């Protein structure tokens, strides 16, 4: 793991827009689903997942049977996690409001849940039950009445869905599940087919084809942010435990060869300790092949002059996950401007947030914490403005409105006011 | 204006993704700005706006001088509108929170304004001072410290900016303004040049090149929704005034030949009265050439069986603007599920909201009110989750977290917990 100064450190980030071939493939898939519906879903599932789908929808019986294939310890932990996630997101709920004006007018803002949300869940090795909870629960807390999940079969050539995914869905409260994945599933959620009605928004992670499909249908439906590689920055001082830090960096690095895991510290001693400790722990890690690449190519230990410079480095990176392993993390917290989630102190390693504590693990990656937020209840609501002007208010302000409309050359706008003033003899 | 039943009515909507040529042009422009910076901005301004730009930035002197070119009545109306917009958006502000858990842990959500927001303002005939207020004020209310405006010169071949735009910017509180437009201005805001530092988010309307450029840089920066043609639906019963309705429909139709202006009513008598009245008023409208096309091609009067069916039609359209010209609009309001802004009663014509009342006029078009919202203060903030677990909490729940991590095959995640439990002798 390289040790560098703040000046030497540079994190290259590019948004993956896919190759022209990938984009063309996605356009073709979307067009096929739009024109052929379920037929295209079956044909593409055969082509990409090697499976002849009978029923697209996962039956209640299959969902119930999934419980026989997961152990009790998993279910218990999942239920506690779901309860924590629910409790945290309940605090994000908002209410509609109306404001009575002095002139008898009412202005307000109505908050409503979206009607139907589509949740994409990857299959294969990247099938994460925790992601099912993290994506579904905020929507349910928002009051979304229809949540529909799409996910490809777990194993090439077979219809079955990963039972842990089905149990997580059932525990969250999702019962409408289709065994289809890839760009074709995104297209189905955006445009609808005979079997799968269109949704208003699509959330959830996926491979490059899923990401490109989401980008392509953005505007027809809403989408969540397009995720880049996951990252972590640990800001630590000399008192921090190098063993903890190394473990936390590796927990990030094991995700993906492109995942940056970065330590920022004013202590050169700690930097060297962590470097040794990363090497030691890495050699014992089942996913060491992946983690070794990300540590070597994307990881870094940035030795800074002091904590102030360290905070500047953190804010410039805008990490998805930020750990504050410093003597007084609450003194540093107000100065962290860009971060998806902030973990304070020695007993808040990032996996606490990934799985359990309650805040969402769907976080802004790739530096987008500069402008975006953890997935939250607001992502599943819509607002409507309400304007009820009184006659008194329109008579008092009508001329000013007409002045502004005429200045913009929109005489029709002015006349919509004028016709009312005239009727009142003004 | 055609009169149809609810069954006959169909509103075709497509998102404009541009032609391949337009997309290619935008890609080329973005690449040029990324590699050549200001040089590309000058070259492209010469090419598209016919102007040799000297200073890219509009000087304080030019902003001050703009006040000499607008009349006092305009400034007074603009100031009142700005005060109303500020007051409404102040009510949308939110606060950070922290929640103390029983086990000594803290969970919370921090709200911060974005650091730097770019505001695109079209030039030429579509230069709307009201849009400057509507885009800038929510950002300012959110606490955004840096708002940068880009706008092309008002007249081809000249450097000057429309003085009404400059006055609106100054009144809103925007002083950093660059005389550049088009896809090149969007690219500058996304990637930065020598003169224009990159922003975190780009908002504001523009032509197809601006829209495609925003779509292309989405992810590098955030963007607001990509706007389609503006639309209105008036839901009216037999007591409504056909003169008012016709004027309101035409206020929408005059915007754009693609703008749907739709009346939904259970009264066939009203339908016929409004049709006649639209014809009469249309003939007197300065922008009748535009409005005549939109009324004929996109407009419709939908005669429904009753108010219930009318409400279903409104929700299916998901209008940008919805007027409720019915006997008891507040009884209908709770049943309007999809709408950007809802105007209640005879004295709330849509231009009241366009210019003056306070709610935002940047609204979800093209049916996107199903999943998106009026521009608001939330669009200019970012959230960070905060997790501070106590030792007690980690010891109590660590095993459950490890169970969930191991189920997903992420042993490194489990070990970040385990290393802490072991140090505590657990």
> Which of B:16-55 have CB within 8 Å of A?
none
Model confidence band, residue A225 (pLDDT cutoffs 50, 70, 90): confident
Mean pLDDT, residues A87-105: 94
Q: Do B374 and A384 touch (CB under 8 A)?
A: yes
Q: What is the pLDDT of residue B225?
A: 80
Determine the CATH number of domain B3-12+229-357.
Answer: 3.40.50.1980
Q: In the structure, what pLDDT confidence band is assigned to residue A219 with cuts at 50, 70 and 90? A: confident
Give how far B376 is from chain A: nearest CA, Å: 9
Question: Catalytic amino acids of A?
Answer: 320-321
Please tell me the distance from the alpha carbon of residue B149 to that of residue B168, in angstroms, as a whole number.
11
3-state secondary structure of A237: coil
The chain A residue lying nearest B394, using CA atoms, is A347
CB contact under 8 A, B384 and A341: yes
Q: Is B184 annotated as a binding residue?
A: yes
Per-residue pLDDT of B44-99, as tens digits, reads: 999 998 899 889 999 999 999 999 999 999 999 999 999 999 999 999 999 999 99
Encode pLDDT of B255-312 as tens digits. 999 999 999 999 999 999 999 999 999 999 999 999 999 999 999 999 999 999 999 9
Mutate to test the interface with B, among A382, A399, A409, A426 (most CBs of B within 10 A): A382
What residue ranges do the domains of chain A occupy? 3-12+229-357, 20-223, 389-423
Task: Reduce the DSSP state of residue B37 to 3 states and report it.
Answer: coil
Residues of B within 8 A of A408 (CB-CB) are: 128-130
d(CA A272, CA B234): 69
Predicted pLDDT of residue A154: 85
pLDDT greater than 80 at residue B173: yes
Are residues B26 and B209 in contact, defined by beta-carbon separation less than 8 angstroms? yes
d(CA B11, CA B316): 10
Cβ-Cβ contacts under 8 Å between A and B: the total is 358
Interface of A with B in 90-149 (CB under 8 A): 91-92, 97, 99, 105-107, 109-110, 112, 114-115, 125, 128-130
Q: Between chains, do A401 and B281 touch, taking CB under 8 Å as contact?
A: no
Determine the distance in angstroms separating the CA of A43 from the nearest CA of chain B, rounded to an integer: 26
d(CA A257, CA A225): 21
- For residue B9, the surrounding DSSP H or E stretch is none
Q: Cβ neighbours of residue A19 under 8 Å, at least 6 residues apart? A: none
Q: Tell me the mean pLDDT in the region A403-409.
A: 96
Taking an 8 Å cut-off on Cβ atoms, the answer to whether B92 and A112 are in contact is: no
pLDDT of residue A123: 86
Residues of B in contact with A333 (CB under 8 A): 110, 386
Closest by CA position to B215, among listed B373, B16, B13? B16
Residue B320 is among the residues annotated as catalytic for this protein: yes
pLDDT over 90 (residue A16) = no
- What is the model's pLDDT at position B316? 96
Residue of B nearest to A245 (CA): B416
Evaluate if residue B124 carries a pLDDT over 80: no
Answer yes or no: is pLDDT of B15 > 90: no
Residues 6+ apart with CB under 8 A from B421: B394, B395, B398, B399
pLDDT over threshold 80, residue B395: yes
User: Distance from A403 to chain B by nearest Cα, in Å?
Assistant: 6
Note the pLDDT of residue B394: 97
Residue to mutate among A371, A397, A410, with most B CBs inside 10 A, is A371
Facing residue for A416 by CB, picked from B341, B349, B405: B349
Q: Which residues of B352-368 are buried (b: 16+ CB within 10 A; e: fewer)?
A: bbbbbbbbbbbbbbbbb
Contact B299, B3 (CB under 8 A): no
* pLDDT tens by residue, A353-370: 999 999 999 999 999 999
Residues 237-276 (B) with a CB less than 8 A from some CB of A: 241, 243-244, 247-248, 250-251, 253-255
Joined together, the tokens standing for residue A408 give 């913009």
- As a whole-number percent, the residues of chain B with pLDDT over 90 amount to 90
The pLDDT, as a whole number, for residue A426 is 82
Tally of residues, chain B: 426
Query: Per CATH, is B20-223 categorized as 3.30.390.50?
Result: no
A207 touches chain B (CB under 8 A): no
Q: Which of B128, B369, B383 sits opposite A373 (nearest CB)?
A: B383
Contact B26, B183 (CB under 8 A): yes
Distance CA B167, CA A198 (A): 45
Mean pLDDT is lowest, of A193-202, A205-214, A322-331, B336-345, for A205-214
> Which pairs with CB-CB distance under 8 Å and at least 24 residues apart come from B12-21?
B13/B228, B13/B366, B13/B367, B15/A219, B15/A220, B15/B226, B15/B228, B15/B366, B16/B208, B16/B211, B16/B228, B17/B212, B17/B215, B18/B208, B18/B211, B18/B212
- Do the domains B3-12+229-357 and B20-223 sit in the same CATH topology, yes or no? yes
Report pLDDT for B157: 78
For residue A117, the SS3 value is strand
Q: Which residues, including other chains, have CB under 8 Å from residue A47's CB and lie 6 or more apart?
A: none
Token output for A35: 């024109």
b/e B142-160 (16+ beta carbons within 10 angstroms → b): bebebbbbbbbbbeeeebb
C-alpha closest to that of A56 among A145, A180, A174, A169: A180
Q: How confident is the model at residue A165 (pLDDT cuts 50, 70, 90)?
A: very high
- Smallest CA-to-CA distance from A395 within A425, A368, A369 is with A425
Q: Is A252 annotated as a binding residue?
A: yes
- DSSP codes of every residue in B103-145: TS-EEEEEEEE-SEEEEE---GGG--HHHHHHHHHHHHHHT-S
Distance of CA A22 to the CA centre of its chain: 23
Given pLDDT bands bounded at 50, 70 and 90, which one contains residue B127?
A: confident
Q: Which two tokens stand for residue A368?
A: 């987008």
- Look over chain A and give the mean of its residue pLDDT values, rounded to a whole number: 95
Q: What percent of chain B has pLDDT over 70?
A: 100
Q: Give the full edge-to-edge strand order of the sheet including B381-388.
A: A3-5, A300-303, A261-265, A232-236, A321-325, A341-344, B381-388, B106-113, B97-100
> Per-residue pLDDT tens for A169-196?
999 999 999 999 999 999 999 999 999 9
Q: Which residue among the candidates B89, B164, B321, B361 is catalytic per the annotation?
A: B321
> How many other C-beta atoms can be found within 10 angstroms of the C-beta atom of residue A162?
24
Which residue in B has a C-alpha nearest to residue A344's C-alpha?
Answer: B388
Tokens of A250: 């590796």
Please state which of the ranges A214-218, A348-352, A371-375, B154-158 shows the lowest mean pLDDT. Answer: B154-158
Tell me the pLDDT tens digit for each residue of A49-71. Answer: 889 988 999 999 999 999 999 99
From chain A, the residues in CB contact with B403 under 8 A are 73-74, 77
B352's tokens: 């009241």
The alpha carbon of residue A409 is apart from the nearest alpha carbon of chain B, in Å, by 8
Q: How confident is the model at residue B230, as a pLDDT?
A: 92
Taking the CA of residue A16 as centre, how many other CA atoms within 13 Å lie in the half-sphere pointing to its CB? Answer: 19
In chain B, residues with a C-beta closer than 8 Å to the C-beta of A285 are 411-412, 415
Inter-chain residue contact A341 with B244, CB threshold 8 Å = no
Q: What is the pLDDT of residues A34-50, one digit of tens each?
A: 999 999 999 999 999 88
Non-local (6+) Cβ contacts of B333 within 8 A are A110, A386, B324, B342, B344
| Paired residues of B232 in beta bridges | B261, B321
Mutate to test the interface with B, among A214, A372, A385 (most CBs of B within 10 A): A385
């Amino acid at each position: 793991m390289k040790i560098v100064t703040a000046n030497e450190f540079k994190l290259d980030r590019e948004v993956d827009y896919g190759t022209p071939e990938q984009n063309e493939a996605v356009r073709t898939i979307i067009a096929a689903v739009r024109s052929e519906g379920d037929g295209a879903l079956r044909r593409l599932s055969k082509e990409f997942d090697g499976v002849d789908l009978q029923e697209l929808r996962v039956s209640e019986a299959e969902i119930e049977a999934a419980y026989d294939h997961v152990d009790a310890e998993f279910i218990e932990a999942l239920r506690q996690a779901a309860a924590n996630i629910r409790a945290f997101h309940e605090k994000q709920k908002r209410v509609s409001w109306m404001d009575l004006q002095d002139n008898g007018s009412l202005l307000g803002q109505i908050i409503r849940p979206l009607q139907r949300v589509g949740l994409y869940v990857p299959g294969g090795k990247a099938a994460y039950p925790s992601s099912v909870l993290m994506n579904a629960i905020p929507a349910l807390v928002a009051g979304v009445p229809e949540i529909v999940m799409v996910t490809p079969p777990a194993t090439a050539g077979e219809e079955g869905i990963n039972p842990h995914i089905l149990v997580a869905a059932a525990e969250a409260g999702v019962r409408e599940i289709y065994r289809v994945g890839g760009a074709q599933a995104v297209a189905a959620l955006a445009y609808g087919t005979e079997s799968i009605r269109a949704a208003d928004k699509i959330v959830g992670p996926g491979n490059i084809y899923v990401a490109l499909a989401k980008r392509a249908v953005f505007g027809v439906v809403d989408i969540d942010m397009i995720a880049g590689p996951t990252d972590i920055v640990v800001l630590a001082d000399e008192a921090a435990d190098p063993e903890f830090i190394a473990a936390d960096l590796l927990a990030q690095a094991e995700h993906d060869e492109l995942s940056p895991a970065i330590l920022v510290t004013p202590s050169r001693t700690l930097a060297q300790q962590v470097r040794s400790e990363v090497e030691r722990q890495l050699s014992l890690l089942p996913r060491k092949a992946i983690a070794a690449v990300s540590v070597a190519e994307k990881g870094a230990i940035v030795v800074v002059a002091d904590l102030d410079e360290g905070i500047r480095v953190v804010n410039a990176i805008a990490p998805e996950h930020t750990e504050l392993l410093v003597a007084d993390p609450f003194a540093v917290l107000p100065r962290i401007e860009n971060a998806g989630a902030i973990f304070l102190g020695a007993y808040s390693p990032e996996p606490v947030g990934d799985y359990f504590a309650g805040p969402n693990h769907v976080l802004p990656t790739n530096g987008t914490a500069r402008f975006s937020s953890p997935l939250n209840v607001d992502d599943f609501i819509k607002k409507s403005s309400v304007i009820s002007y009184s006659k008194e208010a329109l008579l008092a302000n009508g001329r000013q409105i007409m002045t502004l409309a005429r200045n913009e050359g929109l005489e029709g706008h002015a006349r919509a006011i004028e016709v009312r003033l005239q009727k009142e003899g003004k």
